[in-house]
Structure 1
C-alpha cells in the first residue's frame, strides 16, 4: 500500500500539490506562532537597570485568590494595578541575612523634565520618565559623566540621553514635573550606564533626597565568594520575592517587561484561532482531494481492495504529503515570525527588546501538528469512501449522492446548538468581557458552517446560480448547472471563503462597534465644559485639580483616576476597571446614566457605584455588598449606592477619589473634568493653568470623546495586525482550494471545447462558478460576522440591533471580490493552455 500511495502522489500532482500547500502553510503558521511565543517568554530588556545587583527582592506583584472548594480548590493570580511595596523593616532584615554585603533600596516615581520648547520630554520611544534616589544609581550602575552628585533637595542628575534631548547641561536649570507639581531644579550632573547614554525604555532622573516611603525594590550585593543560589533561598525565607537574571531585568524595566508579557499573552488566543483555521483548512483540502478521487477509490474497491487497505493507502499518502510539506513549512515559519514581529513592534504590541530565538522545539511542534491534523482529516474524510460497497462506490463516483452523512449533520447541528448558550452567556456577562465571548461564538459558528457546508451549499446554490444565469445567459447557465451537479465540490471551496469572510467581518465590525459605542457613551456621559488631560505624561499631578477648583469661573471639578478592582466573575477573579471621582462634583460633570441610587452618596471608603452590566451579571442592586480587592491588594467590603449605564470607557466601578489615596502609590489623575459657572469663559484661565503645568492639555467634551475612540482604535489595531495575517492565510487557502478544484477538471473543460465552447466561454464559466462559490461563502461568513456584531452590541448596549459600519463591511466585500478575480484567472489560465485533444489525453 505504501508503494501504491507514493505512486498515486506522483500521478495526481494537482490534488496533492493543493494538500501540500495547505499543510505547508499550516506548519509555517504554527512554527511562527510557537517561535514568537517562546521568544516572548525568554526575552528580557537589552539593558538591565539592576545589572549591578545579582539579586533583587520585591513583594509579589500579583494577588493570589483562592477559587473553588474541596477537591476543586485552586489558586489564581491576578496582576495588581498598584504593585506592593516592601515592609518598612525589609532593608534591615535583608541586610542582616548571612552572605549579604550591601542592600540598595529603590522606589521609582514619576518625574519628567520640561524641554526648552516648553513641552514635556518623555522617555526614549515614548516610554516613562522615572525619578530615583541617587543611592539607586549604583544598581545599574549609573556613573557621573559630567558634573557631580546631587547635594540638595533642589538639585537633580539627568541621564545623558535625557539631558541631550532636553538641551540641559550641568549648572543649568530645568523644570521638573512630579506628582507633587512643577518646580525649577538645578542640574548637578549628567550620568550614564556603562557603554550607553541611558536606559533603552525609560528616562532616569536622580535626586539627592527622595520621599521617605517603603522601598519597592531591594538590590542585594552578595559578599565575595557567597553562593547566589544559597543566598536567594535564605532571602526567600526572610520574606518577599527574589529575582535573578531575566526576571530581575524585566522587573527593572516594567514598561518593557509588561509589554513583553502582553505580547506573549496576546499571542495565545491568536495562536488558538490560527490553529483552528489550520485544522479546517487542512481538513477541507484533504476532503476535497479524496472527493475528487471517488472514481479511483471505487475502482480499487471493485478490484478487491478492502476498506482497511484503502484507509492505509490514504493514511500513507497523508503522511508522505505532511512530512514533505513540513520542511518548507518550517523554513517559511521563520521569515513569517520575523514579519509578525516587525508588525508587532511597529504597532506597539511588543517592545523592540523582543528578539526571536529559533530552536528545535517550534519545528518539532509544527511538524507534529501538521502530521496529526493531516492524519485526522484523512481518517475522517476517508471513513465513508472506504466503507461503501464497490458497486455503490462506482455509482456514487459517477453521480454523487445528494444526502449528507448523518455523523457530519449531527456534528454541525451540535456546534450550531453550542453557539446558543455561549451567546446567552455573553449577554448575561455583558461589557467588554461579553464582547470577548463573541470570538468564541464565531469559532463555534465557523465550525458549524464548515460541517454543514454541503447542506448550506445545496440550499444557496440554486439562488446564486439563478442570479448568475440571469446575468450571463449561456455561460451563466453552464456555471449554475455545473455547481448544482457538484454541490460537495462547491461546499468544499465555499468553506474556505466562509472562514475568511467570517474572521475578517468579525474583526472589522466588532471593533467598530466597540469604538462607536465608546465614543457615543463618552459624548453622552461627559457634560463638563472642559477636560484637562495629560500631554506626553502618564497622568496629571493632583495639584492640577486643586488649582482648577480655585479658578473664579469654575462651578465644579472632578478628577478621574483609574485603577482596578478585583472581583470574582463566574467563580474566577478578574481585575475590572474602577474610576476614582469626586462625589460632591461628579454629578455636575458626568452623566453616566444612573438607573438607581445616586452618585452623591458615593462618599467615604465603604461605598461604590457599579455598572448596569456588571450589576446584572452579579445580581447586585442598591444596598448590595460588593467584596473584592483594591488595586494594591487591600481587601474591600463596599456597599452599592448607585447603578449606572454608560460604563464603556469609564469603568465598571466608581469609587470616592479621596478614599483611594491610601491605595495609590502616586497622586496622579488621568483627567480633570471642569464645569464653568453660567456665563464664565474658562479658556484664558485654563490656558494659564496649562502654562504653569506643561503636561496639561485642555480639550472640550467632543475632543475628549474622540480621544476615547482613538485610544480604543489603537488597541483594536493590535488585533487587526495578527487577525489580518490569519485572514491572509485564509485567502491563500481559498486560492489553493479553487485552483486545486479547477485543475482536476481539465478533461471536463476540454469536452466543453470539443462540443463548441470557445476559450472565452470556458474562462467565463470558470469565473462564474467561482462567483457562485464566493457568494455562498460571503453570505454565510457575513451572517456569522453580523451575529457576532449583534452579540457585541447586546453586551455593550443591551440591544441586539447593531449599527453596521457599511464602509468597513465594504472592505470585506472588496477583499472577496479581489479574491474571486484571482481564483478565477489562475485556474482558467491553467485549463485553457492545452488543446482539447491534448487535455483529454492527459492522465487524470
Structure 2
C-alpha cells in the first residue's frame, strides 16, 4: 500500500503542486517568523549580557509589575554603606536618564525611548577617540551614534534633557555593547557632577552598581544589600538587568512577529480548504481504482492509510520547501526593517530546532488533518457501488442533515455574537460565536451557492452559450464550489472586518477628541518620559496662555496593589479636559481629596465620602476622600490635585502638560511655546488635530500592515481556484471535447472557464464582505461596550467594500488563465475518447 501511495503521488505531481504551494506559503511564514524572532532575541540577549558584564548587583528605585518605578534617588550615604558590604569588591554611583541628542537636521537622533544619558565610567565605556567628559559643557557619544550622525571629536552638538537646548562639545567617542544602543538608541556620557544636575540632584544617584569579590555570588551580594535598602529601593542582579533590557528591546519587534504568525496561521487555515478539495477530487477520480483494491483484499484501513500516506508525503515536501523559504523570509524581514530605518543588533541568522520542528509539524499536520475526511469517505464506499458509481450523488437525507446542522451552527453562532456585544466581558463569547457562525456558513455554503450563482444567471446568459454553461458548471458540484469559494471568503471577511473596525475607530476618535479634549495643545516628551520640573510654570508665564495643567503619574499602593495615581492642577482642569462626572467632582479647595472612574468605584465598592487608603512612594501613608465619580473610556483610575502628590516625590516629573491659549491653536502660538521651551528636539507640542491624526494614522499603518499580511490568504485562494478549475477541466475533458465537436470554438471554451471562475470568486467575495461587515460591527460594538463608549456607530466605507469585490473578480480572472488555456488546447478527438 505504501508503494501504491508513492506511485499515486508521482502520478499526480501536477495536481498536487497547488497543495504543496499553499502549505509551503503558510509554513514559510511561520518558520520565517520564528527564525526572525529567534535571531533578534538572541542578538539582544548577547548584547545586553555584554552591557551589564561588569555589574553583579544594582541598587535602584523599586519597580512595580507594570514597569513604573518609585522615583527614589540614592544618596552618598547608601553608596558608602554599599561599599562596606561584606563580599563587595566595589560600588559605583551611576546616573541615567533621557538625553535627546539632535542630529544635523535638528531632529532627534535614534529611537526616543532608548535615547539615554549617563555619567562616564572608564571600565564600562572605553574611549575609541578623544577623552572622556570632565566638566560642564563636555560630552562623549557612542561610536554607532557618531557613525550615524557624522559627529566627531571637537564638534558642537545640540542636546536636551527634558528642558531647554544645551550646546555641548564632543570630547570623545567610545565603544559600548549597551543593548539600547544596539536597538537604535543613543548613549551620551557626562561627567558625574553634570549628570547629577541633569538626571537627579547634587550628591545623589539613580543607581548604585556593585561588583562581587571572588567567592561571593551575585545572589548572595544581592541578599546582603537588601538589608541596607530604604523604602522604595530594590536590589537586582546583573543577570536580571540584562534579561529586562533584552526583553524590552525584543518587545519592539514582538508585535510584528505576532502579526506574521497570526497571518501565517490564517493562510494555513485557508490552505486546508484547498487540501480538502484536492484530495476529495483525487479520491473521486480514483474511485474505481480504490474499489479494485478493496475487491482484491485491501481493507478499509489500508485504503484510508494509503490516502493519508499520500498526504504525509505531500506535507513533508511542502514542509521542507517551506522551511527553506522561511529562512529566506526571516533574513528578508530583518533586511527590510534595517533598510526602513529600524536599527537591529548585529548577529548571525539563528535557525534553531524550533523552526524546523514547527515547519514539519504544521506542514504534515495540516495536510494530514485536511486529507483525513476524504480518505475516510473513500474507504467507506463499497467496492460494487464504487465500480457502478452509485455513490456519486449525496442522498437527500444527507443533504437535509448537513443543511440543518449548518443552519443550527450559524443561528447559535450569530446569536452569541450579537449577545456578546452587550457584555462588559464578552470577548470570549464573541470569539466562540464567530467560530460557530463561520463553521455554520461553511457547512451551508453548498446550499447558498445555488441561489446566489443562479441569481447571476441573467448576467451570465448575456455572454451566450459560454455564459450559460459557466453558470451550470459553477453549481454542478456545490461542495466543490463551496470549498473553493470558502478560501476567498475567509480572507475578504478578515480584511473587510478590519476595514469596518478602522472606519468606526476613526469616527469615534474624532468625536471623543471634540468632546473630551478642550486644551489647545499637549506638551510631552518624544520618549513619553517625564518633562523637566518647572515646564508648566514656564508655559503659564506666557501672555498667550490662559490655563495650564500638568499630568503627573505617581505609583502608590492602594488596597495592597500598586496603582498609578494621577495628579492635575484641578483648579482650572475644566478648561482643559471634559471629564464626564456622574457624581460629584474635583474639590480643589479641600485638601486630600480624589476622584475615581465609575468601573473602579463599582469594583471596589467605593461611594462619595469614602476614604481611600494610600501608601505613597516615600512610604508615607494617608487617606484620600472620594469626592467624585466619572465615566471614562481610556484614562481611568484615581485622580487628585498635584498639591496632594508633590510632597511625596523626590523629583517633580510631568508625563504631559495641557495648555489652553487665548487665540486658539495657530502656527504663531506653537512657535511661541516652542521658543519658550528652548526649541528642544526632545519636546513635542501637538494640537488637537495632530493628536487625532497621530492616533488614526497609527490605526491606518496597522491596517496597511495587516492588509499586506492577509494578502497571503488571497494568494492561497487564487491557488485554490486554479486547482479546482484545473481538476474540473480534467474531469470534463470528454464534455469539452464534445462541445468543441458541435461547434464551440476555443475562444468560447476559454470564456466558459473564465466566467465559471468569475462566478465562484464573486460568490466567495460577496459572502466574505457580508461576514466581514457583521464581524466588524460586532467587534467595534463590543470594544465600545467594554470601554464605556456610547458614540460607536457602524461606518461602512463603501468605496473599499466595492474595491474588495473588485479584488474577488480579479482573483477569478487571474485564476482562470491557465485552466482556460489548458481547456482550449485539448485535442477534441482524444478528449472524446477519454474516460
- The alignment's TM-score, normalised by the length of structure 2, stands at 0.81
The aligned counterpart of 1:133 is: 119
Match of 1:831 in 2: 823
1:67 aligns to what?
none
1:365 correspondence with 2:366? no
Equivalent residue, structure 2, for 1:17: 17
Aligned twin of 1:806? 798
Aligned to 1:429: 424
Does the Cα contact within 8 Å between 2:567 and 2:639 map onto a contact in 1? yes
Quickly say closer, same or farther: Cα 1:771–1:596, change in 2 above 3 A.
farther
Q: Is the 8 A contact 2:508 2:791 kept in 1?
A: no
Q: Is the 8 A contact 1:44 1:250 kept in 2?
A: no
Q: 1:103 aligns with which of 74, 91, 97?
A: 91
Q: Can you give the 5+ residue segments of structure 1 that lack an aligned partner in the other structure? A: 64-77
Deviation at 1:32, TM superposition (A): 1.8
> Is 1:479 matched with 2:470?
yes
Equivalent residue number for residue 57 of structure 1: 58
Q: Is the 8 A contact 1:124 1:202 kept in 2?
A: yes
Deviation of the 1:762 alpha carbon: 1.5
Partner of 1:817: 809
- Residue range with higher mean Cα deviation, 360-369 or 443-452: 443-452
Paired residue secondary structure (2:570): coil
For the Cα contact (< 8 Å) 2:531–2:654, is it kept in 1?
yes
Q: Name 1:267's counterpart in structure 2.
A: 257
**Deviation sequence 1:25-63 (CA, Å, 0-9, x none):** 333233223323433443317755735515353679875
Equivalent residues in 2 for 1:15-414, closer than 5 Å: 15-44=15-44, 47-48=47-48, 50-53=51-54, 55-57=56-58, 63=64, 78-82=65-69, 95=83, 99-113=87-101, 119=106, 121-124=107-110, 128-134=114-120, 137-138=121-122, 140-143=124-127, 145-151=129-135, 156-159=139-142, 176-179=159-162, 181-182=163-164, 184=166, 187=169, 189-193=171-175, 199-200=181-182, 201-203=184-186, 204-209=188-193, 210=196, 211-212=200-201, 217-223=207-213, 226=214, 230-232=217-219, 234-235=221-222, 239=226, 242-243=236-237, 248-249=241-242, 251=244, 254=245, 257-264=247-254, 266-268=256-258, 270-272=260-262, 274-294=264-284, 296-297=286-287, 300-301=290-291, 304=295, 305-343=298-336, 351=344, 356-390=349-383, 392-393=385-386, 394-395=388-389, 398-401=392-395, 403-404=398-399, 406=401, 410=405, 413-414=408-409
Judged with a 3 Å threshold, the aligned counterparts in structure 2 of structure 1 residues 616 and 36 are, in CA distance, closer, same or farther, namely: farther
Query: Deviation digits for residues 118-163 of structure 1, max 9, x if unmatched?
Result: x4x52435564322233xx3463243833553345x6554556667
Aligned CA distance change for structure 1 residues 825 and 676 (closer, same or farther; 3 Å):
same
Kindly indicate whether the alpha-carbon contact (under 8 Å) linking 1:61 and 1:80 is maintained by their aligned counterparts in 2.
no
Distance 1:184 1:494, change over 3 A: closer
Partners of 1:728 and 1:602 in 2: how far apart? 65
1:588 aligns with 2:579: no
Within 5 A, what are the aligned runs for 1:473-622? 473-532=464-523, 534=525, 538=529, 540-560=531-551, 581-598=568-585, 607-610=594-597
- Structure 1 residues 544 and 800: CA distance shift in structure 2, 3 A: closer
Q: Determine if the alignment matches structure 1 residue 692 to structure 2 residue 676.
A: yes
The match for 1:775 among 762, 765, 771 is 762
Contact 2:484–2:717 (8 Å) recurs in 1: no
Q: What is the CA–CA distance in structure 1 between the aligned matches of 2:822 and 2:407, rounded to whole Å?
A: 35
Which residue matches 1:75?
A: none
What residue is the counterpart of 1:765 in the other structure?
752
TM-superposition CA deviations, 1:273-306 (whole Å, max 9, x none): 5335414422542344224532533553375254
- 3-state DSSP class of the match of 1:274? helix
Q: Distance in 1 between matches of 2:555 and 2:715?
A: 37
Whether contact under 8 Å (1:343, 1:721) holds in the other structure is: no
Post-superposition Cα deviations, 1:76-134, rounded to whole Å, max 9, x if no partner, equal xx5424487698787567645555422334342122346787x4x52435564322233
Of stretches 471-480 and 187-196 in structure 1, the one that deviates more from structure 2 is 187-196
Whole-angstrom distance in 2 between the partners of 1:340 and 1:589: 44
1:828 Cα offset (Å):
1.0
For the 8 Å contact 1:505–1:809, the answer to whether it is kept is yes
SS of residue paired to 2:51: coil
The structure 1 residue matched to 2:690, chosen from 703, 718, 721, is 703
Change (3 A) 1:208 1:107: closer
Whole-angstrom distance in 2 between the partners of 1:781 and 1:17: 26
Task: Tell me how far apart the structure 2 counterparts of residues 265 and 683 of structure 1 sit (CA, whole Å).
Answer: 36
Instruction: Say if 1:353 and 1:166 are closer, same or farther in 2 by CA, change over 3 A.
Output: closer
Choose the corresponding residue for 2:412, options 414, 417, 421: 417
Contact 2:21 2:318 in 1 (8 A): yes
Q: How many residues align?
A: 802
1:83 and 1:346 map into 2 onto residues whose CA distance is: 39
Per the normalisation by structure 1, the TM-score is: 0.80
User: Structure 1 residue 331: deviation in Å?
Assistant: 1.1
Q: In the TM superposition, what is the alpha-carbon distance from 1:496 to its structure 2 partner?
A: 0.8
Q: CA RMSD in A?
A: 4.7
Task: Give the direction of change, closer, same or farther, for the CA distance of 1:748–1:703 in structure 2 (3 Å limit).
Answer: same
Give the corresponding residue for 1:2: 2
How far apart in 1 are the matches of 2:727 and 2:616? 58
Distance 1:634 1:723 in 2: 53
1:637-661 Cα distance to aligned partner (Å, 9 max, x none): 985823235x3xx533462362565
How far apart are residue 827 of structure 1 and its match? 1.6
Query: Do 2:291 and 2:382's aligned partners in 1 also have CA atoms closer than 8 Å?
Result: yes
Gaps of 5+ in 2: 227-233
| Mapped partners of 1:632, 1:23: distance in 2 | 58
Q: Distance in 2 between matches of 1:171 and 1:684?
A: 36
Deviations 1:172-201 (A, max 9, x none): 87664334x326566483341269999443
- CA distance 1:453–1:129, shift in 2 (3 Å): same
CA pair 32-442 structure 1, distance change in 2 beyond 3 A: farther
CA distance in 2, matches of 1:562, 1:741: 66
